[in-house]
């Protein structure tokens, strides 16, 4: 009985990572296909955020 109990939760846990694997693979493929555009957006986004955050923190 105790051996079956841990085996039951182990089944859904093993299924979750399997479903995540193909999802992450598709995400990586999309990033690779549009790596240049993604890099530009990622670089601009954090830069604008950091610039906007710094002046906001100073007056506060």
Please give the pLDDT value at position 50. Answer: 56
- Please count the CA atoms within 13 angstroms of the CA of 6 that sit on its side-chain side: 2
Please give the pLDDT value at position 16. Answer: 53
pLDDT digits (tens, 9 = 90+) for 8-42: 555 555 555 555 555 555 655 555 555 555 555 55
Sequence-separated (6 or more) residues with CB below 8 Å from residue 38: 31
For the record, the structure tokens of 58 come out as 């100073």
- Residues 5 and 28: their CA atoms lie apart, in Å, by 36
pTM over 0.85: no
Please give the pLDDT value at position 59. Answer: 57
Please give the pLDDT value at position 3. Answer: 55
């Amino acid at each position: 009985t105790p051996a079956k109990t841990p085996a039951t939760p182990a089944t859904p846990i093993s299924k979750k990572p399997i479903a995540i694997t193909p999802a992450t693979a598709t995400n990586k493929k999309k990033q690779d296909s549009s790596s240049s555009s993604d890099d530009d957006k990622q670089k601009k986004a954090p830069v604008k955020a950091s610039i906007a955050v710094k002046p906001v923190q100073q007056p506060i």
